[in-house]
Amino acid sequence: TIAPVGEETPEQLLDMIAQSVAACRQCYLCEGRTNVVPGFGNPEARVMLIGEAPGKNEDLQGRPFVGAAGKYLTELLGYAGLTREEVFIGNVLKCRPPSNRNPQPDEITLCAPFLRDQVRAIGPEYIVTMGNFATKFILRTDRGITKLHGRLEQTGRFKVFPVFHPAAAIYDRTKRESLEEDFRTLGEFLRQQ
């Protein structure tokens, strides 16, 4: 069934966005992709998590955070009392950069409308930005994640909670401890309100 324009459910809106992502050839990254990775999860999520860009496993499967960082992310969600099924996970870029290099400013600009539309479609209460790229994108700040992590920021209708990127913490014990503490803090916020 087709909903009247403006009355689509979050799920229908996310499907429409995913179709636009699949058809996108606006930047060079489309040349090297196996699959687009539009994002995955609960269309009515209270918590939306945003990473940087798909890696090798994500490109192969078309799903976000399915490799080593993803496994760790599932564990981190547990510290907040969350499961993968109840959150939505997306990325700043929907296609894998070659050799996992950093997203380039022009790629971020061209891909940005997809993420903005996803945030609007889901309307989460909390946005957890993982790493510098997602945090800069959502908070429009030049302050780094080392300063910002673990502190709740209110931007417009969203509560934004920046954390280190899970991939950066896998081999860094200090960052791991900080991530685990931050996800516990997130869990406390979620239980309070």
Residues that bind ligand URA (CB under 6 A): 51-55, 58, 64-65, 69, 91, 167
Q: How far is the CB of 147 from ligand URA (least distance, A)?
A: 20
Tell me which residue has its CB nearest to ligand URA: 51
Nearer to ligand URA (CB atom), residue 65 or residue 183: 65
Q: How far is the CB of 101 from ligand URA (least distance, A)?
A: 12
Phi, psi of 175 (to 5 degrees): -65, -35
Nearer to ligand URA (CB atom), residue 48 or residue 69: 69
Rounded Cα distance between 140 and 41, Å, is: 25
Q: How far is the CB of 146 from ligand URA (least distance, A)?
A: 17
Nearer to ligand URA (CB atom), residue 65 or residue 164: 65
Nearer to ligand URA (CB atom), residue 94 or residue 186: 94
Q: Which residues pair with 150 in a beta bridge?
A: none
Instruction: List, as own/partner pairs, every contact residues 56-59 make where C-beta atoms lie below 8 angstroms and the sequence separation is at least 24, other chains included.
Output: 56/96, 56/100, 58/96, 59/33, 59/34, 59/35, 59/95, 59/96
Q: How far is the CB of 111 from ligand URA (least distance, A)?
A: 13
The answer to whether residues 88 and 120 touch, using CB atoms and an 8 Å cutoff, is no
CA 130 to chain centre: 7
Locate 1 and state its tokens: 């069934």
Please report, to the nearest 10 degrees, the dihedral formed by the alpha carbons of residues 113, 85, 66, 159 taken in order: 50
Q: How far is the CB of 179 from ligand URA (least distance, A)?
A: 14
Rounded Cα distance between 55 and 111, Å, is: 16
Nearer to ligand URA (CB atom), residue 41 or residue 55: 55
